[in-house]
C-alpha cells in the first residue's frame, strides 16, 4: 500500500514526486513508457517563461510566475543546467507595439519583475543579428532556459534516491475506488494507494474517466521544431518570440542549454495523440517564419527536427482539481507547464495536505543530486582522479560529444536507470552529436546488454518493439 | 617533446608513419581511439582493396594488416584506446585513455589522419516518425561484420554512396531483401564497379532522381514513402510510392572529421570540408599535415596510402628542417571541377594534383591555365563525381607560374 501514486513521469509528475519525497511517505510513480520524460516533457521549447503571457488571475499565470522564481534553485539542487538568458518579444509594426504594451501590463499584473519595453536601437544592441524590420521589443530579463528532460530525469532520480519508486512500462488501464484509497491496474499489474495524482499529460482525460470523471477533455496540438548545429548557437543570446497575433503565436528562436539554436514550434490541432510525425510543411513553415526574426537563418545547418504534442485542456487554464477524496488531477498542463512545474508540485502538495495527507518531514532527505555532467565539468585533476578510480572514465565512447564509458555506465546504473539507447542519449548526450550515434551506438548497445543482462539483439531504441537488431547474422555472433 | 605524432591509426595514419620512418625519423607516435589499428577497414570485409598498390584484390582487414605488420616490425610506437581531445596551433595534443588518464604531448610535427564520418539522418530532415531501424550504412556494416547481428530484413537504401552499395550486397547475402536504392541525383556517387557488383549482380534496383520523403512506423520502421525528384531536386507529389520495409539505410555522403583541425586553427576548404594543403599535404599551420579521408574523401584506399606517404615524408623533412625554395601558387577551379588537392603549391617540383568534378561529363579536356596561358591540357573520355581524377604537372611547367586555374572543357 502506497501513500501516493503518481500516474505519469513527465516534468509535472517528476516534480511532484520530488517534492513529496521530502516527507515520510511511500511514493510510486507509474509510467507507461520505458523511460521517464517521454511525453510533452521530451519535446518542447525548453523555456522558463517569465510569466507575462497567461491571463491575469489564472492559475497558469500564478503558477508560472512562482515556478519561474523557484526554477533556478531547483536546478541548482538537481545539478541541471539553467541559463538565465532573458526573453524578448519583438514587434514589427504598430499593432505589435500595442500588443507588446498589453503584454507588459499583463506581466506587471502577474507580478513579473524587471519587464521593460525597448525601441529598435536598444533592441539591436541586445541582439545584433535581429531582423532590421523589428521596431520594438518587450524585454523579460527573468526568462530562462533549461533542459526539460534533464530536469525531469534529475527530479525523479532525486525522488528515488530519497525513497520513491518508479515503475516503467506500467500503463494505467483501470482504477478502482477502495475503502482506503484506490487500486490502480495495468494489464498485468496492480498497485494500491491512499492517494492518486493524475499527471498523465495528454491522457489525463482518460485517467479521469477511469474514476468516472468526464469533465476533462484534452486534445493534442502539434508543435514541430528544427534544431540547428552548435555553430549557430552564437546567433542570438536571448529567447526571441514574435508578437502573438491573429495569425498565431509565431515562431521562436532560442538558444538551448547545450548551445544549439532551436526554431519552432508550429501549432496545429490534431486528433491522434500518438502522432508525433514531422512534416515537410512544418519544416518549411518554421524556416519561413523564423527568417522574419533574424537577419539570416542557416537552414542548412539543421541537425534534427522533432515534434511535441501540447496537452490542450477544455478550460483554457491548467486544470488542477480534486474531484474525489484522495484523487488529484493535473490536466491541460500545456505551456507554461515546464516553467510552472515546481510551483505545480508545491500547489498539489498543499492540496494533498488539505485532503488529509499528513506530511512529516523525513530525516535524511537530501535535495541534492550530483549532476549527470559532473565528469564533463570537472577540472583536469579531478577527471584524472576519477579515471584512476574508474578507468571507464578514460574511454571515450561518443567521440562527437566526448562522452566516456564511465558516464554511460553511470546513466545505466543511476536512478532513474537508462534501459534503452535513447535513455542513454538523454542522460549523457552520447549519440546526440554530429554522427547521431553512427559510430558509438553498437558499443552502447553492448554496454546496455551487459548491464541489463539481456541479449544484444533485445536492446531497444526506446522500449517496446523498437529493437535495433532483429537477430544474429548467418554466421552467428562473431566475437 | 615528440618529433612526430600521428592522430589516427587507419590506413592513412599507418602509411604516414611508415613513410616518416623511412625518411629517417624515429620518434614517432600513433594515437588511435580504437582497440586496434586499421580504422574503418576493419569492418570492410569485402574485397577490392589494394588493386593499385599491390595488384591484388584484398579485403579491408588484409589491406590494413599489410601496413600494421610493417608498423610493428619497424617498432613504431602506438597508443591504442586513446582519444585525442584537443590540438593547439602550437602542436600540443591533449589525449585520454584509461591507463594514463588525460595527458598532454608537445609535438614538433603532427599528421592529422582522423578519417571521416557518415552524414546522418538529422541533416536530411525527412518527414514522418522517428522509429528504430534507421541506420547509416556504416553502422549497419559494423553490426553485421563486427558484432554479428542483423539490423533488418526488408531494406530501402537512401543514397548510392559506396558504403550503401556494399551494404546492399552484404544485407542480401545475409538473407535480407533490398527493395531499392534511391539516389537523389541523376547519377550515382559510388564507383561504377560497385554498382555492377553490388546492385546489378543481385538484381537490386537503383532509382536515380529519387528520394525518401517520409518515414512510417511507431516503434520500428514499417515503411517509407519515396518519390521522384524534379531537376531542382524537389519531390514530385504525383510520384509518391509507399514501400513497406523495416530498415532504412542511409548512404548520403561522408564528411571529413576536422574538429581537431578547427581547434588548431587550421584553414579548411569549404568544398572538401578538409584542410587547405600544399603539395606536401602541409596545412596552413606549419608542421601540421593532413592526409586520407580527413583531408578529402577518397574512393579507394590505395590513394589514401599514397597521399599519406607524401605527408609522412614531408613531416619527417619538416622535423629535420630540410628546406626548399618556396613559392606560393594558388590552385583555383572553374566549378565544373569542384576542388583540387593540393590547393596551393609552395615548392616548384613535379606534383600530382587530385580533383573531383561536379557532374558527369563525356569527352572532356582538363585545361590548366596560368592567367591566359594554357600550361597543360589532358583528355579524358569520361569523368564522374564518384571517381577521383588526377593530373601531373612537371616542375618546369611551374617555373613561371603565379597561379594555376583548373577548367573543364567539353569537346
Ligand atoms: C510544443 C510544445 C512547446 C512547449 N514549450 C514550453 C515552454 O517553452 N515552456 C514551458 O514552460 N512549457 C512548454 N510546454 C509545455 C510543457 O512541455 C508541458 O506543460 C509539460 O511538459 C507537461 O508535463 P506533464 O508531466 O504534464 O506531461 P507529459 O510530459 O506529457 O507527461 C505525461 C506522462 O504520463 C504518461 N502517461 C500517460 N498515460 C499514462 C497511463 N495511462 N499510464 C501511465 N502513464 C501514462 C506519459 O507517457 C507521459 O510520460 C510546451 C509543450 C509543447 C508540446
Residue A329 annotated in active site: no
Ligand 1 atom index nearest CA of A186? 42
Question: pLDDT tens digits for B298-339?
Answer: 999 999 999 999 999 999 999 999 877 689 999 999 999 999
B117 to chain A, minimum CA–CA distance in Å?
7
Gyration radius of chain A over CA positions: 23
Q: What CATH architecture is A83-145+219-310?
A: 2-Layer Sandwich (3.30)
Nearest Cα residue to A237 out of A120, A103, A83: A83
Query: What whole-number percentage of chain B has pLDDT above 70?
Result: 100
Contact A78, A155 (CB under 8 A): yes
Mean pLDDT to the nearest integer, B217-237 = 97
How many angstroms away from the CA of B215 is the closest CA of chain A?
A: 9
Domain with CATH 3.30.9.10 in chain A: 83-145+219-310
Q: What is the pLDDT of residues B48-80, one digit of tens each?
A: 999 999 999 999 999 999 999 999 999 999 999
Strands (E), A294-402: 302-312, 319-324, 327-331, 396-398
Residue B124 confidence (pLDDT): 75
Residue A379 touches partner B, C-beta closer than 8 Å: no
Indicate the pLDDT class of residue B219, thresholds 50, 70 and 90: very high
Outline which parts of chain A fall under CATH 1.10.10: 374-458
Confidence of residue A34 (pLDDT cuts 50, 70, 90): very high
Q: How big is chain A, counted in residues?
A: 479
Do residues B6 and B28 make contact, with C-beta atoms less than 8 angstroms apart?
A: yes
Position A479 scores a pLDDT of 44
Contact B148 A441 (CB under 8 A): no
Say whether A466 and B153 touch across the interface (CB within 8 A): no
Q: Which domains does chain B have, with CATH numbers?
A: 1-118+253-323 (3.50.50.60), 120-252 (3.50.50.60), 325-411 (2.60.40)
pTM of the complete model: 0.95
Can you give the pLDDT at residue A231? Answer: 85
Rounded to the nearest angstrom, the distance between the alpha carbon of A12 and the centre of ligand 1 is 7
Query: A273 contacts in B (CB within 8 Å)?
Result: none
> How large is the average pLDDT for residues A399-410?
95
For the segment A179-183, the average pLDDT, to the nearest whole number, is: 96
What pLDDT digit, counting tens, does each position of A310-334 carry? 999 999 999 999 999 999 999 999 9
Q: How much of chain B exceeds pLDDT 90, in percent?
A: 95
- Pairing state between β B254-256 and B116-118: antiparallel
Of B88, B93, B70, nearest to B22 (Cα)? Answer: B70
Percent above pLDDT 90 for chain A? 93
pLDDT confidence of residue A102: 97
Confidence band for B43, pLDDT divided at 50, 70 and 90: very high
pLDDT in tens, A243-267: 998 777 899 999 999 999 999 999 9
Top mutation candidate among A223, A338, A344, A416 for ligand 1, by most atoms within 8 Å of CB? A338
CA distance, residue B128 to nearest chain A CA (Å):
4
The model's pLDDT over A203-239, given as tens digits with 9 standing for 90+, comes to 999 999 999 999 999 999 999 999 998 889 999 999 9
Give the pLDDT score at B123: 67
* Residue A185: burial class (beta carbons within 10 Å; 0-12, 13-18, 19+): middle
Q: Which residue has the higher pLDDT, B351 or B121?
A: B351
Q: What pLDDT is stored for residue A246 in this prediction? A: 75
Q: Is A310 in the pocket of ligand 1 (CB under 6 A)?
A: yes
Mean pLDDT, chain B, rounded, equals: 96
User: Which class does domain A374-458 fall in?
Assistant: mainly alpha
Q: What is the pLDDT of residue B325?
A: 64
Quick check: helix, strand or coil at residue B145? helix
A169 touching B, CB under 8 A? Answer: no
Q: How confident is the model at residue A476, as a pLDDT?
A: 60
Q: What pLDDT does residue A249 have?
A: 83
A467 touches chain B (CB under 8 A): yes
Amino acid at each position: 500500500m502506497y501513500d501516493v501514486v503518481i500516474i505519469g513521469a513527465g516534468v509535472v509528475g517528476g516534480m511532484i514526486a520530488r517534492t513529496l519525497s521530502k516527507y515520510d511517505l511511500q511514493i510510486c510513480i507509474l509510467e507507461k513508457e520505458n523511460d521517464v520524460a517521454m511525453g510533452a516533457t521530451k519535446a518542447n521549447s525548453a523555456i522558463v517563461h517569465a510569466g507575462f503571457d497567461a491571463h491575469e488571475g489564472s492559475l497558469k499565470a500564478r503558477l508560472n510566475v512562482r515556478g519561474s522564481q523557484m526554477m533556478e534553485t531547483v536546478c541548482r539542487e538537481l545539478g541541471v543546467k539553467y541559463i538565465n538568458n532573458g526573453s524578448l518579444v519583438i514587434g514589427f509594426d504598430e499593432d505589435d507595439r500595442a500588443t507588446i504594451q498589453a503584454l507588459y501590463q499583463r506581466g506587471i499584473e502577474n507580478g513579473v519583475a524587471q519587464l521593460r519595453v525597448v525601441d529598435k536601437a536598444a533592441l539591436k544592441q541586445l541582439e545584433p543579428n535581429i531582423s532590421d524590420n523589428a521596431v520594438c521589443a518587450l524585454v523579460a530579463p527573468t526568462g530562462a532556459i533549461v533542459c526539460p528532460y534533464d530536469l525531469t530525469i534529475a527530479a525523479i532520480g532525486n525522488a528515488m534516491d530519497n525513497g520513491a519508486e518508479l515503475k516503467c512500462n506500467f500503463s494505467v488501464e483501470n482504477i478502482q475506488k477502495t475503502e482506503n484509497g484506490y487500486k490502480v491496474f495495468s494489464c498485468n499489474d496492480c498497485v494500491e494507494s491512499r492517494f492518486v495524482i493524475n499527471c498523465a499529460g495528454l491522457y489525463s482525460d482518460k485517467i479521469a474517466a477511469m474514476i468516472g470523471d468526464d469533465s476533462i477533455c484534452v486534445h493534442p496540438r502539434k508543435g514541430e521544431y528544427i534544431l540547428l548545429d552548435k555553430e549557430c548557437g552564437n546567433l542570438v543570446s536571448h529567447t526571441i518570440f514574435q508578437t502573438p497575433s491573429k495569425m498565431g503565436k509565431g515562431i521562436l528562436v532560442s538558444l538551448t542549454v547545450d548551445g544549439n539554436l532551436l526554431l519552432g514550434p508550429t501549432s496545429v490541432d490534431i486528433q491522434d495523440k500518438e502522432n508525433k510525425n514531422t512534416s515537410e510543411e512544418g519544416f518549411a513553415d518554421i524556416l519561413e517564419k523564423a527568417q522574419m526574426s533574424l537577419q539570416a537563418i542557416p537552414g542548412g545547418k539543421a541537425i534534427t527536427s522533432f515534434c511535441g504534442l501540447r496537452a490542450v485542456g477544455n478550460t483554457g487554464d491548467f486544470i488542477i482539481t480534486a474531484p474525489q477524496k484522495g484523487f488529484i488531477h493535473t490536466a491541460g498542463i500545456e505551456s507554461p507547464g515546464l516553467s510552472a512545474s515546481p510551483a505545480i508540485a508545491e500547489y498539489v502538495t498543499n492540496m494533498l495536505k488539505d485532503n488529509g495527507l499528513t506530511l512529516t518531514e523525513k530525516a535524511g532527505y537530501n535535495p541534492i543530486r550530483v549532476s549527470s555532467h559532473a565528469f564533463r565539468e570537472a577540472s583536469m585533476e579531478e577527471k584524472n582522479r576519477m579515471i584512476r578510480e574508474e578507468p571507464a572514465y578514460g574511454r571515450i565512447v561518443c567521440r562527437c560529444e566526448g562522452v566516456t564509458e564511465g558516464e554511460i555506465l553511470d546513466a545505466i546504473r543511476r536512478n532513474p536507470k537508462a534501459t534503452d539507447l535513447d535513455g542513454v542519449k538523454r542522460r549523457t548526450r552520447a549519440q546526440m552529436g554530429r554522427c547521431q550515434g553512427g559510430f558509438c551506438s553498437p558499443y552502447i548497445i553492448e554496454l546496455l546488454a551487459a548491464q541489463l543482462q539481456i541479449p544484444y539483439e533485445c536492446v531497444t531504441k526506446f522500449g517496446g518493439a523498437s529493437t535495433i537488431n532483429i537477430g544474429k547474422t548467418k554466421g552467428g555472433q562473431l566475437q | 617533446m615528440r618529433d612526430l605524432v600521428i592522430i589516427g591509426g587507419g590506413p592513412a595514419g599507418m602509411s604516414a608513419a611508415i613513410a616518416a620512418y623511412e625518411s629517417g625519423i624515429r620518434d614517432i607516435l600513433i594515437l588511435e581511439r580504437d582497440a586496434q589499428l586499421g580504422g574503418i577497414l576493419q569492418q570492410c570485409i569485402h574485397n577490392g582493396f589494394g588493386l593499385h598498390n599491390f595488384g591484388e584484390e584484398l579485403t579491408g582487414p588484409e589491406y590494413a594488416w599489410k601496413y600494421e605488420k610493417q608498423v610493428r616490425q619497424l617498432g613504431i610506437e602506438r597508443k591504442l584506446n586513446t582519444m585525442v581531445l584537443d590540438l593547439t596551433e602550437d602542436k600540443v595534443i591533449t589525449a585520454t585513455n584509461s591507463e594514463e588518464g588525460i595527458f598532454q604531448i608537445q609535438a614538433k610535427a603532427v599528421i592529422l589522419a582522423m578519417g571521416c564520418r557518415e552524414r546522418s539522418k538529422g541533416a536530411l530532415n525527412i518527414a514522418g516518425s522517428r522509429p528504430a531501424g534507421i541506420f547509416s550504412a556504416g553502422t549497419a556494416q559494423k553490426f553485421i561484420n563486427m558484432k554479428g547481428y542483423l539490423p533488418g530484413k526488408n531494406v530501402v537504401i537512401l543514397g548510392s554512396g559506396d558504403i550503401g552499395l556494399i551494404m546492399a550486397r552484404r544485407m542480401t547475402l545475409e538473407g535480407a531483401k533490398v527493395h531499392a536504392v534511391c539516389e537523389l541525383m541523376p547519377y550515382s556517387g559510388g564507383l561504377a564497379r560497385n554498382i555492377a557488383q553490388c546492385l546489378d549482380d543481385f538484381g537490386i534496383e537503383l532509382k536515380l532522381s529519387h528520394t525518401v520523403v517520409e518515414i512510417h512506423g511507431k516503434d520500428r520502421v514499417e515503411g517509407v514513402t519515396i518519390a521522384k525528384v524534379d531537376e531542382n531536386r524537389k519531390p514530385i507529389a504525383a510520384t509518391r510510392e509507399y514501400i513497406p520495409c523495416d530498415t532504412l539505410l542511409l548512404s548520403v555522403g561522408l564528411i571529413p572529421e576536422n574538429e581537431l583541425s578547427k581547434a588548431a586553427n587550421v584553414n579548411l576548404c569549404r568544398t572538401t570540408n578538409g584542410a587547405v594543403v600544399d603539395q606536401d599535404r602541409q596545412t596552413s599551420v606549419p608542421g601540421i599535415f593532413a592526409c586520407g579521408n580527413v583531408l578529402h574523401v577518397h574512393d579507394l584506399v590505395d590513394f589514401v596510402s599514397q597521399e599519406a606517404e607524401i605527408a609522412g615524408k614531408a613531416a619527417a623533412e619538416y622535423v629535420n628542417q630540410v628546406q626548399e625554395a618556396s613559392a606560393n601558387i594558388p590552385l583555383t577551379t572553374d566549378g565544373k571541377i569542384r576542388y583540387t588537392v593540393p590547393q596551393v603549391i609552395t615548392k616548384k617540383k613535379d606534383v600530382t594534383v587530385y580533383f573531383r568534378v561536379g557532374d558527369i561529363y563525356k569527352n572532356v579536356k582538363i585545361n590548366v591555365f596560368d592567367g591566359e596561358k594554357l600550361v597543360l591540357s589532358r583528355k579524358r573520355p569520361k569523368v564522374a563525381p564518384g571517381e577521383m581524377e588526377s593530373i601531373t604537372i612537371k616542375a618546369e611547367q611551374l617555373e613561371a607560374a603565379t597561379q594555376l586555374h583548373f577548367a573543364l572543357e567539353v569537346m
